[in-house]
């Protein structure tokens, strides 16, 4: 059977999924609701409507509807870069001399270079539908900002991006890609917002952080008529849109009767992993099939493996709603030597709940191991992976090597979320042998967790 499986499995246009799948519909324990940071009461739709687009608020709060039809405009845009292939990594299997069968779902085939476009186009679409002028957001490494700029250009929306200052300075090409698509890009913290000015006053030399850029983007949205804030990960709505990854992957594998034993994804805020595993997790939750799910995070930013399951702020400025999630504390910043992305302090509430209930596993990897896996993969399979994606590659290679020892013919599916063309400074450090590992110390973790808000529910 396996001989017949092509190197790349593509779906035809009519095999492409026409609805997103909402895994919350099949969860017995639903993810905890977002809380209002002022009252600590669950956020109502009306409260959320001030920050997010109306339709996206409905998706955010809907724990029961299993399928959401994908609007035709979004399907049309998806056609420009989807379906994305499921690749049978024959070359990697051979190089590793493993009996394991390795598949990856490749999301790097669009200009943003990552899976983030899947949600960007959806969020921009609903903003446009609502008659808004534009959206605001933050970006760290730049993939999300790029994806949103592309989506806004397509739909004719204004796009204001707060880019973490170090990235703004270190990744000028990312910045210019966004500007080419028409976005207005501001380094964060900036003096365009109250929260930005406050942070600059206290820490004039701060390199910025995602949490801080989020605060600025939210403030800008709520103080500008006709603008809403959009977020590229963590939220329930984002996992819903990203379910397209898993639905396509499952449809492609089903065509050949392939059932993965182990599904691996890197985990920053949880959107690609949540999207990839959703339909498989649905089967597990309904008791129809069993799968082993593995979230892979950096040792320097280990929210699932070492964080606390608690309500926390989603941003440094504490203006956003609180989410119950595995968190390292909203003031957390990974060590400055960390170069591999996945820097967010928290994790999607959906994945946090599933992890808490024992439906998935998590592991950490160190960055030199991650870049070693990236290099090996690039040389063998040809694709230059994003450092984020390479966390999943590392874990997949390690699992395949275990199979070589045990002789087990495990079927492994991992998410290859994007390409690393804008990460060459980090690759350069690795190539020059200058990259060091950083593992979060217990002391630093304890210190960071002291800032958790006190919430009694
Ligand atoms: C943003 C990003 C991630 C991490 O975000 P998740 O929400 O955890 O998926 C992973 N890979 C790439 C290429 C990214 O751009």
* Tokens coding 147: 């994806």
| pLDDT band, very low/low/confident/very high, at 140 (cuts 50, 70, 90) | confident
The string of pLDDT tens digits covering residues 325-339 is: 999 999 888 888 888
* Ligand 1 atom nearest to CA at 273: 9
Q: Would the CB of 423 count as within 6 Å of ligand 1?
A: no
**Is residue 230 pLDDT above 80, yes or no?**
yes
Averaged pLDDT, 229-247: 97
Q: Ligand 1, from 107, 314, 342, 360: best to mutate by most atoms within 8 Å of Cβ?
A: 342
CA atoms within 13 A on the CB side of 66: 9
Averaged pLDDT, 102-122: 97
Q: Would the CB of 269 count as within 6 Å of ligand 1?
A: yes
Q: Would the CB of 342 count as within 6 Å of ligand 1?
A: yes
Is the separation of the CB atoms in 181 and 207 below 8 Å? Answer: no
Average pLDDT, the chain: 95
- H-helix or E-strand spanning residue 413: strand 411-416
Q: Would the CB of 231 count as within 6 Å of ligand 1?
A: no
| pLDDT band, very low/low/confident/very high, at 267 (cuts 50, 70, 90) | very high
The string of pLDDT tens digits covering residues 32-61 is: 999 998 899 999 999 999 889 999 999 999
Q: Would the CB of 116 count as within 6 Å of ligand 1?
A: yes
Is the separation of the CB atoms in 297 and 362 below 8 Å? Answer: yes
Phi, psi of 140 (to 5 degrees): -100, -90
* Tokens coding 59: 């998706």
DSSP 178-211: HHHTT-EEEEES-TTSHHHHHHHHH-TT----HH
* Residue 457: predicted pLDDT: 64
Stated pTM of the model: 0.96
Q: Where are the beta strands (DSSP E) in 86-173?
A: 86-88, 101-106, 134-139, 158-164
Q: Would the CB of 139 count as within 6 Å of ligand 1?
A: no
Residue with the nearest Cα to atom 10 of ligand 1? 388
């Amino acid at each position: 059977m396996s001989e017949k499986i092509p190197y790349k499995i593509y779906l035809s246009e009519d095999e492409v999924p026409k609805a997103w799948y909402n895994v919350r519909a099949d969860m017995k324990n639903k993810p905890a609701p977002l809380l209002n940071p002022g009252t600590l009461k669950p956020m109502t739709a009306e409260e959320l409507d001030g920050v997010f687009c109306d339709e996206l608020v409905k998706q955010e709060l809907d724990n029961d509807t299993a399928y959401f039809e994908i609007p035709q405009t979004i399907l049309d845009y998806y056609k420009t870069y989807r379906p994305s292939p499921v690749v049978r990594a024959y070359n990697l299997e051979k190089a590793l001399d493993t009996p394991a069968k390795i598949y990856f779902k490749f999301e790097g085939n669009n200009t943003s270079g990552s899976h983030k476009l899947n949600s960007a186009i959806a969020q921009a679409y609903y903003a446009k539908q609502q008659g808004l002028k534009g959206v605001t957001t933050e970006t760290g490494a730049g993939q999300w900002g790029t994806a949103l700029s592309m989506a806004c250009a397509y739909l004719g929306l204004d796009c204001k991006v707060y880019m973490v200052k170090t990235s703004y300075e270190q990744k000028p090409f990312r910045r210019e890609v966004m500007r080419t698509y028409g976005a207005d890009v501001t380094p964060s913290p900036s003096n365009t917002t109250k929260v930005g000015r406050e942070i600059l006053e206290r820490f004039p030399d701060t390199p910025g952080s995602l949490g801080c850029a989020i605060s600025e983007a939210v403030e800008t949205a709520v103080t500008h008529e006709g603008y809403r804030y959009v977020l590229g990960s963590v939220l329930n709505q984002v996992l819903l849109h990203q379910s397209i990854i898993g639905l396509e992957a499952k449809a492609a594998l089903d065509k050949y009767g392939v059932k993965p034993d182990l599904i691996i994804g890197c985990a920053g805020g949880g959107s690609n992993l949540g999207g990839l595993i959703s339909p498989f997790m649905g089967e597990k939750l309904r008791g129809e099939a069993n799968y082993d799910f593995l979230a892979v995070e950096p040792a320097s930013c280990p929210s699932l493996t070492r964080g606390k399951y608690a309500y926390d702020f989603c941003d440094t400025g504490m203006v956003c709603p609180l989410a119950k999630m595995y968190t390292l504390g909203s003031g957390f910043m990974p060590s400055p030597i960390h170069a591999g992305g996945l820097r967010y302090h928290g994790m999607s509430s959906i994945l946090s709940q599933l992890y808490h209930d024992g439906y998935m596993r998590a592991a950490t990897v160190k960055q030199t191991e991650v870049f070693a896996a990236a290099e090996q993969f690039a040389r063998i399979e040809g694709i230059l992976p994003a450092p984020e994606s390479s966390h999943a590659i590392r874990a997949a290679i390690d699992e395949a090597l275990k199979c070589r020892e045990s002789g087990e013919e495990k079927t492994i599916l991992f998410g290859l979320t994007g390409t690393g063309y804008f990460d060459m400074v980090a690759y350069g450090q690795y190539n020059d042998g200058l990259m060091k590992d950083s593992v979060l110390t217990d002391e630093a973790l304890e210190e960071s967790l002291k800032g958790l808000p006190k919430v009694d529910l």
